[in-house]
């Protein structure tokens, strides 16, 4: 979905990295594609869940189970490229600051850090889209997450001492009006909504049927008007 919207697999100006880490790698698909693009680079993917393949892997790919909240068990300056995608649900505001410092610690001098995040913002749509984002951001705050912080990661990067910091913004379309990327985003939204349904019910004294109705209304609404989530991509260089 992200690659379809941004038309790039990566955004940092990479030349010939020797080691790269993909934090919260998920299924590892992105990293395995990158391993083919940079066959001389050693790629490490870490995630708290073991979702990655265990049989056929590119020779320059390794996966490990790790919890980023416990820090990275690698020496200072070990990686030339440090990257993550979509950790908005994982961190509090305080976690974000310490996490970016940890990324900077393990990044080599002249290496790059790249962070891809969805924010709590949206554009377009109508009352159903607005209601969905209100529920979503409220639930994330209730869990201790900080969706607002994903809007200012460039500021935190600068505070950490990174240079050449850039922030790029993209629209993530909802539904079939946004083509295949829009359908993928809607699929992600459905799964997120289902996962947070118990929290919505307890926070707002809603029934399951009422929560499910919000999703149905959103899906109907985005078929009739354009609506977008907001994706931000941040890059910074370690001096």
- Quote the CA–CA distance of 168 and 11 in Å, as a whole number: 9
The fold adopted by the segment(s) 2-7+18-237 is Rossmann fold (3.40.50)
Confidence tier at 68 by pLDDT (50, 70, 90)? very high
| Strand runs labelled E in 125-210 | 163-173
What are the tens digits of pLDDT across the range 128-182? 999 999 999 988 888 889 999 999 999 999 999 999 999 999 999 999 999 999 9
Do 222 and 186 contact (CB within 8 A), yes or no?
A: yes
- Quote the CA–CA distance of 45 and 65 in Å, as a whole number: 9
CA angle 181, 187, 193 (to 5 degrees): 135
What is this structure's pTM? 0.93
What are the tens digits of pLDDT across the range 97-132? 999 999 999 999 999 999 999 998 999 999 999 999
Dihedral sign from CA coordinates of 180, 181, 182, 188 = positive
Length of the chain: 239
Confidence tier at 93 by pLDDT (50, 70, 90)? confident
- Per cent of the chain over pLDDT 70 is 99
Q: Sketch the domain layout of the chain as residue ranges.
A: 2-7+18-237
User: Per residue in 170-198, is it b (16+ CB within 10 Å) or e — as a string?
Assistant: bbbbbbeebeebbbbbbeebeebbeebbe
């Amino acid at each position: 979905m992200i690659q379809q919207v941004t038309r790039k697999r990566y955004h940092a100006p990479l030349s010939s990295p020797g080691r790269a880490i993909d934090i919260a790698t998920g299924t590892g698909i992105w990293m395995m594609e990158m391993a083919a693009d940079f066959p001389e680079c050693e790629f490490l993917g870490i995630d708290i869940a073991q979702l990655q393949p265990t049989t056929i892997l590119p020779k320059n790919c390794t996966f490990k189970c790790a919890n980023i909240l416990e820090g990275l068990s690698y020496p200072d300056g070990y990686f030339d490229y440090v990257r993550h995608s979509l950790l908005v649900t994982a961190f509090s505001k305080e976690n974000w600051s310490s996490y970016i410092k940890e990324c900077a610690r393990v990044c080599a001098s002249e290496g790059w850090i790249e962070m891809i995040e969805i924010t709590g913002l949206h554009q377009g749509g109508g009352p159903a889209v607005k209601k969905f984002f209100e529920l979503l951001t409220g639930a994330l705050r209730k869990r201790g997450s900080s969706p607002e912080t994903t809007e200012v990661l460039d500021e935190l990067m600068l505070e950490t001492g990174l240079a050449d910091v850039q922030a790029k913004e993209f629209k993530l379309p909802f539904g079939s009006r946004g083509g295949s990327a829009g359908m993928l985003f809607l699929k992600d939204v459905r799964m997120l909504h289902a996962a947070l349904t118990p929290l919505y019910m307890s926070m707002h004294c809603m029934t399951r049927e009422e929560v499910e109705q919000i999703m149905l209304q959103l899906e109907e609404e985005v078929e009739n008007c354009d609506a977008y989530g907001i994706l931000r991509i941040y890059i910074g260089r370690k001096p």
